[in-house]
Structure 1
Amino acid sequence: MIIAAMVGSALTPVGAMAQGVEAAEAPETAGDIIVTAQRREQRLTDVPISISAISQETMQNQQIKTTLDLPKLVPGVEVSHNGVWVTPTIRGVGSRVGENSVAQYIDGVYIPNPVSALSEFAAVERVEVLKGPQGTLFGRNATGGAITIITPDPKIGEVEAQGSAFLEERNGWGGTGYVSLPIGDKFALSISGNYRESDGWIKMGVNNIVGGSQPVPAGTPLNAVKHSGQRVKLRFNPDADFDAILTFWHGKLNDSGATVYPAISNQLLGGDVDLPPYRAFVGFVPTNDVEFTQYSLKWTKHFGDTSLQSTTAYRKDDNFINVDVSQSTIAPVQATWASTQKTFSQEFVLNSKIGPLDAVAGLFIYDDRFVKEYIGAFHHQDTFSVAPFIDLTYNITDNLRVIGGLRYTYEKRSFTYDAFDGSVFFKSDKSYNNISPRAVVQYDLDDRSNVYASFSQGYKSGLFNTDATGLVSPDDLAAQPLNAEKLTAYEIGYKRGSRFLNLSLAGFFYKWENIQTNRYVNGNTVAQNAAEGEIYGGEFQLTVNPTNYLSIFVNGAVMHGRFTKFPDGNASVQGTAGDLYDLNNPVDPLVVNVSQDWKGLRLLNAPDLSINGGFNLDIPVGNGTLTLTPNVKYSSRFASNGILLDTSGKNLLERGSEVLVDMSVGYKIGQFKVSAYARNLLDNNFYSEPNYNALGYYGLWNEPRTIGARIEFKY
């Protein structure tokens, strides 16, 4: 089987596509893939929204294990992993404050916690990446877009089974399993599971510093991981008009990954630090434990050309972290917190077709209770939101259609700060309202191509800062609620799909207001709104299938994303415990932070150029097929976590241009496939997450070359 590992992103907020093609078996084109980006099943070609649809086999071939790997196939997408937070960014739009600006859904259930967004892509049917603000159809904090993960439903009357196992360097091993069994002629049950562990790639360094110590033996793994998950689905399908699926999902992530801070420059260590690559100093091995449990019930009832779908879900996330932020062996600085998040959501979606009109209407209800135990206090944030929405498609002719949509959102946030000893207590609350519109004109040039123009808006609710410490009243700077983010997007695009050639082009312009970000004042985290940003650019995706055995893809994004107004950015400081220092003058301490004007600086996770490409080649050999699947990703320089300017105006946290090459070679015979693979084949080494705190600046090393082997079966 040939699968074009394409997934570009080609059109946007309301008109684009990226495609996955099964060239050897598909009688049509990538555009015949069915997606649900407009809350109903449609051909990918027919959807005027920028989509990257990644199949299960493509994810295996291209080493797509978690959200962190999506940039390998989707240009314009970057994913930051700093500390415990996983922050997807689409076309420069993303935020590490509160919930992500790119919403994530699994089987239609919204996932609010940016920590558990790291969970594995196991037993997944496909992943859809929607670009641009999804204010109407996926409106929950989707200013940047949405990532929707679809897992297989059990089949009535059919038996299905598949599994995989792998071994790789640094004691990496694991696997996945999935089985679906019929229970009579109306019920079916599926069970899936996944497990992965590895020693990681950061180890404790050898301490040669005078006066230092070796509290952790040199060579001890510092970012080891263990991921596991189980999902059970029970399906009830009594007739063609009713279908219900009850799901239980549980997962554990023991992943200290990005909580290790290899120092680049550190005041405790006397300034610049000369550590070998993939080594760090810590006073103890860090811990980051995540556990989540989710229950959901989805049912659909058909009434002729009308259907009603209900999705009810309850989710509980627990997170415990214990890290040494000193980046040294001289004076460990322990940071510990524990958080619990309980979320209930209910959504109704009504689909109806009335002559030339296709209508989608719905209601989303959301209740979230978050509590964090951090530095002597409990931080509570309670959220209640209700959002009705409607999206109408009117077919003026067989070739011309217009789309209009609206979502109204009401949200109330309550923040409570309660000290352990009861000495400090206060409560604040704030309400937010928004109307997000969508308008599209789409014209079909023929059955396989169309052009479109779109306007859309996205909205991310305001919130309170649950990372602040030492608060004494609601008047404190760090206790002030943030304003809501708002993004307005314009786009024009073209897409064409045929058996031989798939091409999609798009040009876009964004205006981003009230950007939510963090600022550090006297060692405290202060959430703030960063005024305005502007993003414009273009994207392309090209997939060529010259034969049934070869598919070649190239995807690219050219983008200009800059702050257009931000007079009070983060301070350019370093320091020892309790004192702050000018980065270029570590002798004289500063009393307070120094604000900087960030106007004209590049937005975070917004490289000016990103390209990925590769091919999928199937060669008949003996009784089986040899498959070769390389992938190359390039991105120009950008900053993933923050801005730290030196006196010349250079951002010390910017990453340089990067090239990553992955490769997979497999042999498939019957129901089995064995593969050898390499991630970062050229062993390109760089700091993937440069950042800073009051002690200095540091950078998490990217994953070095990793070679492994995998076996798969499918029944």
Structure 2
Amino acid sequence: MKKFLLTGAAILCACVPFSVQAQTAGSAADPIDDQEYTGLDDIVVTAQRREENLQRAAIAVSAVDGETLTEQSITQATDLTRLVPALQIAPASSFTQIYLRGVGTFGANAFAEQGVAFNLDGIYLSRPAAPAGLFYDLERLEVLKGPQGTLYGRNATGGAVNVITAKPRLNETSGNLTTEYGNYDAFKTSGAVNLPLGDRFALRLAGQMAQHDGYFSDGYDDEDTWAVRGQLRGEFSDRLSAILSIDYADVGGMGSGGTILPLVDGDNRLGPSDPRVIAAYVGRPPTAPVPQIIARNDGYQDNTFFGISTTINADLGFAQLTVIPAYRKTDLDFRGYASSFLIDIEEQSEQSSLEARLSGTVGQLTWVAGAYVFSETVDANQRFDQGSNGTRILSDLGTDSTAVFGQATWSLTDRFRVTGGLRYTKDEKSQVTEAHTLPFVGFVPGVFPLVPIILDLRSDVAADIDFDKVTYKAGVEYDAGDASLLYATIATGFKSGVLFPAQVNGFSAPESMVAYTLGSKNRFFDNTLQLNGEAFLWDYTDQQVSHLGPVQVASTPGGPIFGPIYLTENAGAATIAGLELELVYQPTASDQFSANLQYLDATYDELKYQAYSTTGAAPAIGCPITPTTLTGASATARIYDVDCSGQPLVNAPDWSLQLGYVKTLELEDRGRLILAADTRLESSRYLSLDYLEQGRQDGYMMSNARVTWETPSGNLAITGFINNIEDELVFANSSQSPAKPGVIYNQIRPPRTYGLRLSLRM
């Protein structure tokens, strides 16, 4: 590891010139000639709780502006994967699984919590289903890599995804409308209107509707979303302002889909209720008369999301005060089939949070200090059924979190600065759960036709558990030139333990991360070339691994009985090291090249867990397994120890490369023509802890292209686009049937899509 860090340091230091002349930013889209061209645009971010040029922020962050999100037809969180190489986002029924450099959460139930925080305008969204109906009228997206906490309300192990909405503008009447139509009967429209209300108030209303038919043969993997957002801004004085925001989203349709392998048929993707898939499924052992669940095309999702928040900013003279009270409510009601694994969930959650921050500058010291209070309740009714084995879980879950945090940067010289930050977090979690394990144990004797016997093993679990932790950040940064920055940081983060329904030890311990980063940000050649680099080493301990495994569900004189529950346990420890290089080259006002390369070496130092087999047969896992003497919920069930130490982390490809090119052709009084293309190349990666070939995505290349004609004013644009030109079949997720070992169910990213887009601005 020392050799790796020294090599990374050498590469990054080689990027830093002794002196680079600073330039002002220009816009490549403006109709200017090369003599007036002044170089690359600056991007302003708030990743460190203050507005600053992305190139001057001494942190590992990627930013995507709102216009790019629209051009790439981003309407849901899973679409973000094709924009940021470090990011992997996959659907899991109505939930969303976010991975960043191999750190994330595979969990897909009411107990799950993300390892990568998702924030909307600085407000942490706790539920894995929450990143829905948000991707419209955005200012930008920020992806922060590595532990967060000393500047943010909620701690995160692997990083944070920040969605920043467009805000109301004073004394401005403006609006925009974007509508597109494409194959799969896709229709998407979004727009916003900004209205001044006198000199000190402004109102911004925005909305979105996105629909398309299912990508699978039986109609699954469709989209049917509509959402609205209203924001009222008030400048009450030169020292006091506030923004009130209210948003609502409705996510419907049949929901995500997939198929058992190897039943994928190119353009005709065979969904879970397709007769060909059902025939293959029922033919896998155990077969009838053992009870079977047959997937149907009655899957649905009827999920609603509501949020209200206020961001208050006050100038106190000695400091700036920011206060953000927020409330969010999520109602989930969905049914889906992972192959023939029925998932039927109703969940209502409410969260409220209050964050207060003071920030200021005193001489050479820039500082931020804050406090955070978070409370959440979750009422969930979850049913998971495979016919020969089922689970029903009714839970009341609660989380109360409090934290204080602060960070300061001291300028020792005009070029050299040091940063330090601390955070104390205390989380209190509780559950009152009624869990039913429903194993098939045989048939009623002497009765024909056969009547299966399904036991009902009930567990009542009540738990209250506290977790607390002090985390820190320390760093140095040096201006190696007028347009060059060199920085190094060490940061720690943790995610508190996760509850699950077990009679004994129904919770995991916290997971922890120590992240070392060495980075450099540079502009060269009269502000036309941007080259940023980062070397990182993450020490990941007590990793929380979510999977279907055994927990104690009953006690008998002969000993405990174990049943299968989707649990989260501390099964892993890993070392994650890598390099990321980002290049943007804009030699003229009409040409821009971009490249983003990530190399990742993410390996488990230790990964040990237990697998539950309802049939007793050895589970299909690509790691050494050993039978145990634990007693399962049925006579045939067996429990196995699994050791996957030395395997790579899931969703962590060794190589990811993003390439792009934009060409602008000026047509004088006829407007301009913009030609754009981008591609993502990625090496192979595993998608689940089973480490099976059918659960591995091979290396692939996926490309997109678009042609846009704009009027001279830029107020009207017409775009033709095509995404996934290769029609590449790329797996997004993978799971194994607990009832039928070796039956692998994979979800798939969208196929080739194309269409026309009309954009209006006023």
Residue of structure 2 aligned with 1:64, choices 50, 55, 74: 74
C-alpha change, 1:463 and 1:31, in structure 2 (3 Å) is farther
Q: 1:220-266 CA distances to partner (integer Å, 9 max, x unpaired)? A: x1222101110011111122211101111000111544344445488
1:133 aligns with 2:133: no
Aligned counterparts of 1:628 and 1:45: Cα–Cα separation in 2:
27
Matched to 1:318, the amino acid is D
Residue 700 of structure 2 is aligned to residue 665 of structure 1: no
Aligned-residue offset at 1:651: 4.5
State the match for 2:223 in structure 1: 225
8 Å Cα contact 1:553-1:613 kept in structure 2: yes
2:123 is aligned with 1:79: no
Pick from 8, 16, 28 the counterpart of residue 23 of structure 1. 28
Of residues 272, 288, 294, the one that matches 2:307 is 294
SS at match of 1:596: strand
Partner of 2:545: 517
Label 1:282 to 1:419 Cα distance change in 2 as closer, same or farther (>3 A): closer
Query: Could you say if the C-alpha distance between residues 508 and 79 of structure 1 is closer, same or farther in structure 2, counting changes exceeding 3 Å?
Result: same
> Residues 37, 73 of structure 1: CA spacing in aligned structure 2 closer, same or farther, 3 A cutoff?
same
Task: Specify the code of the residue in structure 1 equivalent to 2:716.
Answer: F
Instruction: Indicate the SS of the match to 1:32.
Output: coil
Aligned to 1:6: none
- How far 1:540 moved relative to its partner? 0.1
User: Could you tell me whether the CA contact under 8 Å between 2:338 and 2:745 is conserved in 1?
Assistant: no
Amino acid at match of 1:624: G
Which residue does 1:435 correspond to in 2? 470
Give the distance between the partners of 2:683 and 2:97, measured in 1 at CA: 19
Matched letter for residue 389 of structure 1: F
Q: Which of residues 341, 345, 361 is equivalent to 1:353? A: 361
SS at structure 1 position matched to 2:335: strand
Match of 1:304 among 317, 325, 329: 317
CA drift of 1:334 comes to 3.6
Q: Select the residue among 591, 610, 619 that pairs with 2:637.
A: 591
What is the alpha-carbon distance in structure 2 between the residues aligned to residue 128 and residue 377 of structure 1?
A: 36
> Is residue 2:343 matched to residue 1:335?
yes
> Is 1:675 aligned with 2:685?
no
1:667-706 paired onto structure 2 within 5 Å: 667-669=709-711, 670=713, 671-694=715-738, 695=740, 696-706=743-753
Where structure 1 has 5 or more consecutive residues not aligned to the other structure, the ranges are: 1-9, 205-220, 273-280, 328-332
2: CA distance, partners of 1:372 / 1:166: 37
Aligned to 2:451: none
Q: How far is 1:583 from its partner? A: 3.9
Q: Give 1:50 deviation, angstroms.
A: 1.1
Equivalent in the alignment of 1:543: 584
Residue 112 (structure 1) aligned with residue 109 (structure 2): no
* In structure 2, distance between residues paired with 1:517 and 1:507: 26
User: Cα RMSD over matched residues?
Assistant: 2.7
- Rounded to whole Å, the distance in 2 between the matches of 1:495 and 1:49 is 10
Query: Which amino acid counterpart does residue 681 of structure 1 have in structure 2?
Result: I
Contact 1:31 1:45 in 2 (8 A): no
User: Partners of 2:617 and 2:517 in 1: how far apart?
Assistant: 45
In structure 2, the partner of 1:487 is 513
- For 1:404, the equivalent position in structure 2 comes to 420
Given that 1:31 and 1:497 are in contact with CA atoms closer than 8 Å, whether structure 2 keeps it comes out as no
Name the structure 2 match of 1:252. Answer: 250
Query: CA separation of 1:42/1:686 partners in 2, compared to 1, >3 Å: closer, same or farther?
Result: closer
What SS class does the counterpart of residue 37 from structure 1 fall into? coil
Q: Gaps (5+ residues) in structure 2? A: 1-10, 17-24, 31-35, 264-277, 286-293, 384-391, 437-455, 550-562, 628-634
Residue 235 of structure 2 aligns with which residue?
A: 237
CA contact (8 A) 1:504 1:542 kept: yes
Report what 1:317 is aligned to.
Answer: 330
Of residues 52, 62, 70, the one that matches 1:52 is: 62
- After superposition, residues 564-583 of structure 1 pair within 5 angstroms as 564-568=605-609, 570=611, 580=617, 582-583=619-620
Task: Check conservation: 1:31, 1:44, Cα contact below 8 A.
Answer: no
Amino acid at match of 1:437: Y
Determine the C-alpha separation between the residues in 2 that align with 1:170 and 1:24: 32
Give, in whole Å, the separation in 2 of the partners of 1:120 and 1:202: 25
Shift of 1:584: 9.6
- For residue 84 of structure 1, report the CA deviation from its aligned partner: 2.3
- Give the distance between the partners of 2:693 and 2:468, measured in 1 at CA: 36
Please identify, of 548-557 and 333-342, the stretch whose mean Cα deviation from structure 2 is larger: 333-342
Q: Are 1:393 and 1:402, in contact at CA under 8 Å, matched by a contact in 2? A: yes
The superposition leaves residues 345-367 of structure 1 with CA deviations (integer Å, 9 ceiling, x where unpaired) of 00001111000000100011100
Counterpart in the other structure of 1:4: none
- Give SS of 1:411's match: strand
State which of 674, 686, 691 in structure 2 corresponds to 1:639. Answer: 686
Q: Equivalent residues in 2 for 1:9-20 (5 A)?
A: none
> How far apart, in 2, do the equivalents of 1:261 and 1:547 lie?
47
Question: By how many angstroms is 1:557 displaced?
Answer: 0.3
Q: Distance in 2 between matches of 1:27 and 1:548?
A: 6
| Preserved CA contact (<8 Å) 1:644 1:651 | no
1:600 aligns with 2:646: yes
Cα 1:119–1:584 shift into 2, 3 Å: closer
CA–CA separation in structure 2 for the residues paired with 1:708 and 1:336: 34
Q: Which residue of 1 aligns with 2:138?
A: 124
Shift of residue 30 of structure 1? 5.1
Which amino acid letter does the alignment assign opposite residue 349 of structure 1?
R
**1:614 Cα offset (Å):** 1.0
Look up the match of 1:37: 47
The separation in 1 between residues aligned to 2:402 and 2:731, in whole angstroms, is 42
Task: Count matched residues.
Answer: 651
Q: Is the counterpart of residue 625 in structure 1 residue 672 in structure 2? A: yes
Structure 2 CA distance for partners of 1:438 and 1:582, relative to 1, 3 Å: closer
Question: 1-side partners of 2:459 and 2:686: how far apart?
Answer: 38
Q: Corresponding residue for 2:169?
A: 155
CA distance in 1, matches of 2:135, 2:320: 30
- For each residue in 1:266-310, what CA deviation from the matched residue of structure 2 results, as whole angstroms up to 9, or x when unmatched? 8843249xxxxxxxx832331122101101011100133520000
Secondary structure in 1 matching 2:138: coil
Q: Which moved more, 1:336-345 or 1:283-292?
A: 283-292
Cα 1:591–1:99 shift into 2, 3 Å: closer
Displacement of 1:377 after TM fit? 4.0
Structure 1 CA distance for aligned equivalents of residues 207 and 649 of structure 2: 38
One-letter amino acid of the counterpart of residue 23, structure 1: A
| Structure 2 residue identity aligned to 1:485 | E
- Residue identity matched to 2:467: Y
**Which structure has the larger Rg over C-alpha atoms?**
2
Q: Which moved more, 1:445-454 or 1:281-290?
A: 281-290
Q: Deviations over 1:383-411 (max 9, x none)?
A: 00101001000000010000000010011
On the 8 A contact 2:153/2:372 being kept in 1, the answer is no
How far residue 177 of structure 1 moved from its aligned partner, in angstroms, is 1.2
Identity %: 26
How far off is 1:32 after superposition? 2.9
Aligned mates of 1:404, 1:381 — CA distance in 2: 35
Partner letter of residue 653 of structure 1? G
Q: Which amino acid aligns with 1:481?
A: F
* Cα deviation code 1:434-454 (max 9, x no counterpart): 111000100001221011111
Of the candidates 184, 187, 190, which is equivalent to residue 198 of structure 2? 184
Q: CA deviation at 1:21?
A: 8.2
Q: TM-score, normalised by structure 2?
A: 0.81
Cα 1:153–1:570 shift into 2, 3 Å: same
Deviation at 1:44, TM superposition (A): 1.1
Match of 1:710 in 2: 757
Distance of aligned partners of 1:35 and 1:615 in 2 relative to their CA distance in 1, 3 Å threshold: same
Contact 1:84 1:259 in 2 (8 A): no
Q: Separation in 2 of the partners of 1:91 and 1:346? A: 30
Residue 415 (str. 1) matches residue 431 (str. 2):
yes
> Structure 1 residues 238 and 30, CA, compared in 2 at 3 Å: closer, same or farther?
farther
SS at match of 1:68: helix
CA 1:537/1:115 → structure 2, altered by over 3 Å: closer, same or farther?
same
What is the rounded CA distance, in whole Å, between the counterparts of 1:187 and 1:46 in structure 2? 32
C-alpha contact (below 8 Å) 2:378/2:396 kept by paired residues: yes
Q: 1:686 to 1:71 in 2, by over 3 A?
A: closer
CA distance in 1 between counterparts of 2:601 and 2:247 reads: 40
Structure 1 contact 139–458 (Cα < 8 Å) conserved: no
CA deviation map 1:612-631 (0-9, x unaligned): 10111111125211111111
